[in-house]
Amino acid sequence: MVAQLAARGVRDRRVLEALGQVERHRLLPEAFEHRAYEFQALPIGEGQTISSPDIVALSSEALALRGHETVLEVGTGSAYQAIVLSHLCARVITIERLPALARQARQALDALGVRNVAVCLGDGTRGRVEYAPYDAIVVTAGGPVAPPPLLDQLARGGRLVGPFGPMQAQRLLRIEKDASGQLQEQAIADCRFVALIGEYGWQA
């Protein structure tokens, strides 16, 4: 899988190593374990999916992490993205709106010995102001626009990566806040994610 990711243009060695260390099959329902290393999203219950490895790799690479950062993740899901990030930064704060998935994610993190990820229950589009500012933020569900509270909680010099646009199809964007607080946006890839539900996303 790592060789395929490199062939698809992922260059960050740390990201490739992190993806290679994560046992994706342990984060899936038993019926889908045999498909764990396919390059596609797979169902995890509650109408949600685990992201494709290439999308996780692209998102992680775009965050440009060096190891010291505190990162906010919006949409914990299976905890796949959070576990990848746990290898790349100092601390991950991840928010999940569905209690069942939040419990499953915490159990998976504990089973895999991941100690630097905190799972919070709530509306991820509002962020988590008590831990802000964040060096990087990743959004793992598709919203109409980048939620303003997340941009407010992003540190100067920080990067936010997420899929934004119409519900049927989004573009994976990298939004960087410069030293003066101005935002600069870059498109990474076309994509389609499950809907980002919340006050600053799509309504439930």
Q: Could you state, in order of their start, the residue ranges of all structural domains in the chain?
A: 2-191
pLDDT on residue 1: 87
Q: How far is CA 20 from CA 3, 34, 132, in A?
A: 10, 17, 30
Across 107-135, average pLDDT: 98
Q: Does an H or E element contain 37, and which?
A: none
- Is the per-residue pLDDT at 9 higher than 90? no
Mean pLDDT, the chain, integer:
96
Contact assessment for residue 150 and residue 127, using Cβ atoms and an 8 Å cutoff: yes
Contact assessment for residue 62 and residue 159, using Cβ atoms and an 8 Å cutoff: yes
Q: How far is CA 152 from CA 55, 71, 74, 147, 156, in A?
A: 25, 14, 14, 9, 10
Beta bridge partners of 184: 176
pLDDT on residue 204: 76
Catalytically active residues are 51
Contact assessment for residue 74 and residue 193, using Cβ atoms and an 8 Å cutoff: no
The CATH T-level fold of domain 2-191 is: Rossmann fold (3.40.50)
pLDDT band at 60 (very low <50, low <70, confident <90, very high): very high
pLDDT in tens, 66-82: 999 999 999 999 999 99
Q: Rounded to two decimals, what is the model's pTM?
A: 0.96
SS3 assignment, position 140 = coil
Q: How many CA atoms lie within 13 A of 190 on its CB side?
A: 3
